[in-house]
Structure 1
Amino acid sequence: MLLPMRIITPLFLLLGGVRGKDNVDNCTLILGSDSEKKVLRSLEPLTGQNFTVLVGDGKEAKEKYSYTFQVCGDVGGEKKAGLVQFKEDGTKVRIGNYDKTRVIGGSDWVLLIYEGGEKYDTHCSQEARKAMVMISCSKSKKGDFSVVLEVRDSPQDCYYLFELDTSAVCPVIPSKLSAGSIILIVVFCCLSAYITGGFIYQRVVVGAKGVDQFPNYAFWSEIGNLSADGCDFVCRSRGNREEPPTYRGVATEPLEDERDERDDHLLPM
């Protein structure tokens, strides 16, 4: 049984869209080093999105056109075109291709370079156009795409420079919690659960009122006295400590009187 064309067409488009999903693997690196592949992989969250900027949006502008950029994806149906200029009359100018890609990265920025665009007519020795997109970290801006400048007055090495502010290239800040902080957080959570659960139990199950709703109130009210008793037991000595005498004590009376008393029996009666 043959399916009608009105059913086959949407199904074909759906399947084709699934197969043609954009990702950084579509880009072909000119050098192909491992460091470039790692930097390019960080741009994966930006794939499948169009970033567009309008130029000449004013009454005094002689010409109005726009630039559209994709990370490793086709722009405007142009195969392998990563950045395209759209003029007001509908003309398209391919600025750079993602099958000729170079990429340089830092801690919070990535410079993506598309080469192999359409050649200049008279400028820059008729070399191929080149697009350079500086992708910078910005947590406040999401996908803010803008034109910085176009260098086309030199005999060679002409380029278009763009800027894209996004949070996709922002470095991940690791957690700086120490072991002591984690222990304190765990203790605080356990203490909160103890107080909350005990309060509910005392009020609902036991039927306590007032301060008696506090869990183990009798124990905690005596905690100060118990601590004092423990400190007194450990730090203070109790009872009379008797030590064996090591020498004979000296009498407080004068020795002469005591000698006279001992000689009284020698006197004649």
Structure 2
Amino acid sequence: MKVVNGHSGGSFLLWTLAVELVLCGSGVYSIEGTKSCKLLTESDSERKVLSRLEPLTHKNFTAENKSTEEGYTYVFQLCGDAGGIPGAGVVQVDSKKTIVIGMYNSTQAIGGSDWVMLIYGNGEPYDTHCSKESRKAIIMISCNRNIDAGKLEVELETRDKEFNCFYLFELDSSAVCPVIQSQLSSGSIILIIGLCLVAVYLIGGFLYQRLIVGAKGMEQFPNYAFWVEVGNLTADGCDFVCRSQNREEAPAYRGVATEHLEEEPEERDDHLLPM
């Protein structure tokens, strides 16, 4: 864009800053994430559970409850202003008014291996039900590897008790799924890599000896002379270490037979003398 004078660049800069301020005010550039939730009792374990839900922040989830005559619509946001109401985590909307069911400044987070239960308390008090206690929302987030964030469903609303009434919602998400661990150990991976290298060495060496060098028979084996010598040396070493007898046996001592040492009777040759 060609700038005619200095006022064009200044006007464009001011307009950009104004847009950024508006967006920041509406929460678009909010980077707090799950840190915006205030836990009833601050703990590392609950904060760790909340961090698993980080991919679900800055999103509005809506659900309709058509089982009642009023036909309420519910809006849920993780650690953000649901329905644009500051501090509201879950709100109930109808044609007449909007009721805050739970606040994210009163959060509890309980997690398992493949699920997280998020509790928003300190909502608006009931008018006549549940001893006029504050409303409370429970959002059950279950593992589903096929979707990043599913549809919010209204499962239950208990308001016929005197105390501990709550709204129960369900939501499927891959964010709470456990990390898939590799089934192979490090030793198995190293063994597989070693076998692959040996296979490449044998096949490549065989092709080189046969096609380039023109070797035949056992000479096609890569580095045949070296491996033959290694085999002989290994056999000699094994023979030297494992055998308990010497190869050259000393001549065994033999006793002299006594029957050959018996003196033979003296022969007389007197009959040969002349008379």
TM-score, length of structure 2 as denominator length:
0.71
Kindly provide the CA deviation profile for residues 23-63 of structure 1, in whole angstroms up to 9, marking residues without a partner as x: 11111112223332232223222212222223328xxx744
Whether the 8 Å contact between 1:22 and 1:47 is mirrored in structure 2 is: no
Mapping for residues 33-182 of structure 1, pairs under 5 Å: 33-56=43-66, 62-87=69-94, 89=95, 91-144=97-150, 145-175=152-182, 177-182=184-189
Q: Rate the CA distance shift 1:241–1:22 in 2: closer, same or farther, 3 A.
A: closer
> Which residue, out of 249, 265, 268, partners 2:267?
265
Structure 1 match to 2:3: none
Superposed displacement of residue 172, structure 1:
3.0
Which residue in 2 is equivalent to 1:3? 11
1:29 to 36, 39, 54: 39
Give the Cα–Cα distance (whole angstroms) in 1 for the partners of residues 170 and 187 of structure 2. Answer: 43
Q: Is 1:208 aligned to residue 208 of structure 2?
A: no
Instruction: Please give the TM-score of this superposition, normalised by the length of structure 1.
Output: 0.73
Letter of the 1:163 partner, please give it.
E
Larger mean CA deviation between 224-233 and 174-183 belongs to: 224-233
Deviation of the 1:110 alpha carbon: 2.1
Taking only aligned residues, the RMSD between alpha carbons, in angstroms, comes to: 4.2
Counting matched residue pairs gives 256
1:181 deviates by: 1.3
**Paired residue type of 1:44:** E
Q: What stretches of structure 1 of length at least 5 have no aligned partner?
A: none
Matched, 1:217 2:217: no
Q: What letter is aligned with 1:147?
A: V
Cα distance in structure 2, aligned partners of 1:52 and 1:199: 66
What are the Cα deviations for residues 136-187 of structure 1, in whole angstroms up to 9, with x where unaligned?
2332454233222110011222100112222222333444543531330331
Q: 2:247, 2:99 → 1: CA distance?
A: 105
**1:21/1:48 contact within 8 Å kept:** no
TM-fit CA distance, 1:131:
0.2
